[in-house]
A and B are shown apart, each in its own frame.
Chain A
Amino acid sequence: MRGEIARDVERIVLVLDVNAERRELLVPVHKTLLEVVREDMQLTGTKHGCELGECGTCTVLVDGKPQLSCLLLPIQLQGRSITTIEGMATGSELHPLQTAFGELGAAQCGYCTPGILLAAKALLDDNPKPSRDEIREALAGNLCRCTGYVKILDAIQLAAERSA
Chain B
Amino acid sequence: MKVVGKALPKVDAVAKVTGRAVYADDMLLPRTLHCKILRSPHPHARILSIDTSAARRIPGVLAVITGADLPIKFGILPVTQDERALEHQKVRYVGDPIAAVAATEEEIAAAACDAISVEYEVLESVMSIDAALEPAKDERIQEYGGPNNVHKFVALEFGDVDGGFERAKTTREDVFFFQGNTHLPMEQHSAVATYVDGKVTLWSSTQVVHYVHRALAKVLELPMHRIRVIGAAHGGGFGGKTDPFAHEIIVCKLAMLTGRPVKCTLTREEVFYAHRGRHPVLMWVRSGVDGEGRITAMHFRSALDGGAYGSYGVASTFYTGALQTVTYDIPAYRFEGCRVFTNKPPCGPKRGHGTPQPRFALELHLEKIAHDIGLDPVELKRRNFVQPNTRTVNWLRITSCGLEECTRKVIDASRFHERRRGGGHGMGFAISSYLSGAGTAIYWNDMPHSEVQIKVDRGGVTAFCGAMDIGQGSDSVLATIVAEELGLQPSDVRLVTADTDTTPIDLGSYSSRVTFMAGNAALEAARKMRAMLVEAVEAGGHRYDDVTFEEASVLAEARFGTLTSAGSYTPPRIAGPYKGSGVGPSPAYSYSACVVDLDADARTGLIKVNKVWIAHDVGRAINPLLVEGQVEGSVYMGLGEALMEEQAFRKGLHKWPSMLEYKSPTFLDMPEVETFIVETIDPEGPYGAKEAGQGPLLPVPPALCSAVYDALGVWIDEIPVTPEKVIEALRRKDKGEPARYGPPRFPAIPYPPTIKVEPPPKNLDGHVADQEGTR
For A54, the chain B residues whose CB sits under 8 A away are 268, 658-660
Q: Among B9, B233, B473, which residue has its beta carbon within 8 angstroms of that of A102? A: B9
Given contacts A3-B58, A145-B184, contact A101 B17 (CB under 8 A): yes
Residue pair A109, B187 in contact (C-beta under 8 Å): yes
Q: Given the interface contacts A143-B666, A145-B185, does A5 sit within 8 Å of B471 by beta carbon? A: no
Q: A4-B111, A5-B111, A135-B667 are in contact. Are A84 and B14 (CB under 8 A)?
A: no
Do the beta carbons of A2 and B114 come within 8 Å of each other? yes
A146 vs B26: C-alpha distance in the bound complex, in angstroms? 20
Known: A94-B17, A102-B13, A111-B23. A51 touches B268 (CB 8 A): yes
Chain A residues lying within 8 Å of B635, measured Cβ to Cβ, are 148
Q: Mark B415-427, 1 if CB is under 8 A from A, else 0.
A: 0000000000000
Q: Is the CB of B186 within 8 A of A49?
A: yes
Q: Which of A10-18, A73-81, A85-93 lies at the binding interface?
A: A85-93
With CB as the reference atom, state the residue of chain A lying closest to B21. A110
A140 and B628: CB pair below 8 A? Answer: no
**Complex CA–CA separation, A152 to B18 (angstroms):** 15
Residue B498 at the chain A interface, CB threshold 8 Å? no
Partner of A5, one of B23, B108, B236, B625: B108
Which chain B residues border A85 with CB–CB below 8 Å?
18-19
Decide if A5 touches B12 in the complex (CB within 8 Å): no
Chain A minimum-CB-distance residue to B673? A150
Q: Smallest distance from the beta carbon of A58 to chain B beta carbons, Å?
A: 11
Please indicate the chain A residues that have their CB under 8 angstroms from the CB of B234 in the complex: 109
Q: A52-B659, A147-B633, A148-B635 are in contact. Are A110 and B235 (CB under 8 A)?
A: yes
Q: Which residues of A contact B542 (CB under 8 A)?
A: none
Q: Which single member of B185, B628, B667 contacts A151 (CB below 8 Å)?
A: B628
* Whole-angstrom CA separation of A42 from B25 in the bound complex: 12
- The contact string, 1 if C-beta is below 8 Å from chain A, for chain B 28-45, is 100000000000000000
B668 lies within 8 A of chain A by Cβ: yes
Give the residues in chain B near A94, CB-CB below 8 Å.
14, 17-18
Interface membership of A126, Cβ < 8 A: no
Q: Is B637 an interface residue (CB 8 A)?
A: yes
Q: Are B626 and A50 in contact (CB-based, < 8 A)?
A: no
A57 adjacent to chain B (CB < 8 Å)? yes
Within 8 A of A (CB), among B182-215: 183-188
- CB contacts (< 8 Å) of A140 on chain B: these are 666-668
Q: Does B54 contact A (CB under 8 A)?
A: yes
Number of interface residues of A (CB under 8 A): 61
How close is A131's CB to chain B, nearest CB, in angstroms? 13
Given A109-B235, A110-B21, A143-B186, A102 and B632 contact (CB-CB distance below 8 Å): no
Contact of A108 among B19, B115, B472, B670 (CB under 8 A): B472
A102 to B569, CA, bound (A): 31
Which residues of A127-150 have CB atoms within 8 Å of chain B's CB atoms?
A: 135-137, 139-150
Asked if A113 CB lies within 8 Å of chain B CBs, one says yes
Cα-based distance from A114 to B482 in the complex (angstroms): 30
Q: Determine if B18 and A47 form an interchain contact, defined as CB atoms under 8 angstroms apart.
A: no
Q: Point out the residues of chain A lying under 8 angstroms from B71, CB to CB.
A: none
The answer to whether A3 touches B55 (Cβ under 8 A) is yes
For residue A103, CB closer than 8 A to chain B, the reply is: yes
B186 touches A111 (CB 8 A): yes
B486 in the interface (beta carbon within 8 A): no
Residues of B within 8 A of A36 (CB): none
Q: Which of B16, B632, B667 is the one whose CB lies under 8 Å from A110?
A: B16
B689 sits at the interface (CB 8 A): no
Total cross-chain contacts (CB, 8 A): 184
Known: A110-B233, A148-B635. A105 touches B629 (CB 8 A): yes
Chain B 662-701 per-residue mask, 1 if CB under 8 angstroms from chain A, else 0: 0010111010110000000000000000000000000000
Chain A 27-65, CB within 8 Å of chain B: the 1/0 string?
Answer: 000000000001100111111111110110100000000
A112 to B636, CA, bound (A): 16
| B20: Cβ under 8 A from any A Cβ | yes
* Interface pair A102/B636, CB less than 8 Å apart: no
Q: Are B472 and A89 in contact (CB under 8 A)?
A: no
Q: Is the CB of A111 within 8 A of B187?
A: yes
Which one of B19, B23, B664, B670 contacts A84 once the chains associate, using CB atoms below 8 Å?
Answer: B19
Q: Would A117 and B470 be within 8 Å (CB), given that A49-B188, A137-B668, A140-B667 are in contact?
A: no
Complex Cα gap A7–B471 (Å): 41
State whether A111 touches B236 (Cβ < 8 A): yes
Q: How far is the CB of A90 from chain B (nearest CB, A)?
A: 12
Contact status A108-B473, CB under 8 Å: yes
User: Which positions 92-126 of chain A face chain B at CB distance < 8 Å?
Assistant: 94, 98-99, 101-105, 107-114, 117
B659 near A49 (CB under 8 angstroms)? yes
Q: Which of B54, B186, B625, B670 contacts A109 (CB 8 A)?
A: B186
Q: Does B22 contact A (CB under 8 A)?
A: yes
B10 within 8 A of A: yes
> Would you give the shortest CB distance from A41 to chain B, in whole angstroms?
11
Whether the Cβ atoms of A108 and B629 lie closer than 8 Å is: yes
Separation of A54 and B656 alpha carbons in the complex (Å): 13
Q: Which of B16, B629, B637, B672 contacts A113 (CB 8 A)?
A: B16
Beta-carbon contact of B19 and A148 below 8 Å: no
Contact B673 A98 (CB under 8 A): no
Instruction: Give the chain B neighbours of A46 by CB distance below 8 A.
Output: 19
Q: Select from chain B the residue with minimum beta-carbon distance to A103.
A: B9
Contact of B14 among A4, A102, A153 (CB under 8 A): A102
Which residues 239-286 of B sit at the A interface, judged by CB distance below 8 A?
Answer: 267-268
Instruction: List chain B residues, Cβ under 8 A from A142.
Output: 667
Contacts of B12 in A (CB 8 A): 110
Q: Which residues on B sit within 8 Å (CB–CB) of A147?
A: 629, 632-633, 636
Tell me if B112 counts as interface (CB < 8 A to partner A). yes
Q: Is the CB of B236 within 8 A of A145?
A: yes
Q: Contact between B58 and A110 (Cβ–Cβ < 8 Å)?
A: no
**Interface 1/0s, chain B 348-389, versus A by CB < 8 A?**
000000000000000000000000000000000000000000
Q: Given that A3-B115, A52-B659, A151-B629 are contacting pairs, would A47 and B186 also be in contact in the complex, using a CB cutoff of 8 Å?
A: yes
Q: Which A residues are in CB contact (< 8 Å) with B20?
A: 45
A153 to B673, CA, bound (A): 12
Contacts of A49 in B (CB 8 A): 186-188, 268, 659
The reply to whether A89 and B187 contact each other, CB–CB distance below 8 Å, is no
Q: Which of B114, B634, B668 contacts A3 (CB 8 A)?
A: B114
Residue of B with least CB distance to A150: B632
CA distance A105 to B21 in the complex (A): 16
Is residue B434 within 8 Å, beta carbon to beta carbon, of the partner chain? no
Bitwise, B502-517 to A at CB < 8 A (1) or not (0) is 0000000000000000
Give the Cβ gap from A4 to chain B, nearest Cβ, in Å: 7
Contact B235 A111 (CB under 8 A): yes
> In the complex, which residues of chain A have a beta carbon less than 8 angstroms from the beta carbon of B471?
108-111, 146
In Å, the complex CA distance between A75 and B769 comes to 68
Instruction: From B16, B26, B664, give the contact of A107 (CB < 8 A).
Output: B16
Q: Decide yes or no: A105 and B115 within 8 Å by CB, A50-B658, A140-B668 being known contacts.
A: no
Task: Return B474 CB to nearest CB of chain A, in Å.
Answer: 11
Q: Does B335 contact A (CB under 8 A)?
A: no
**B411 to A: closest C-beta gap in Å:** 22
B69: CB under 8 A from chain A?
no
| New contact pairs (13) apart from A52-B268, A52-B660, CB-CB < 8 Å | A2-B114, A5-B107, A49-B659, A50-B659, A54-B659, A88-B18, A94-B17, A108-B471, A136-B668, A140-B667, A148-B633, A149-B636, A151-B629
**A-B CB contact pairs (8 Å), 24 listed:** A5-B107, A44-B25, A47-B187, A48-B25, A52-B658, A54-B268, A54-B659, A54-B660, A85-B18, A86-B19, A102-B13, A105-B625, A105-B626, A107-B17, A108-B629, A109-B187, A109-B235, A113-B16, A114-B19, A143-B186, A145-B184, A146-B236, A149-B667, A150-B632
- Shortest 6 CB-CB contacts between residues of A and residues of B: A45-B19, A3-B115, A109-B471, A148-B636, A110-B16, A111-B235
Chain A contacts to B: CB under 8 angstroms:
2-5, 7, 38-39, 42-52, 54-55, 57, 84-86, 88-89, 94, 98-99, 101-105, 107-114, 117, 135-137, 139-153
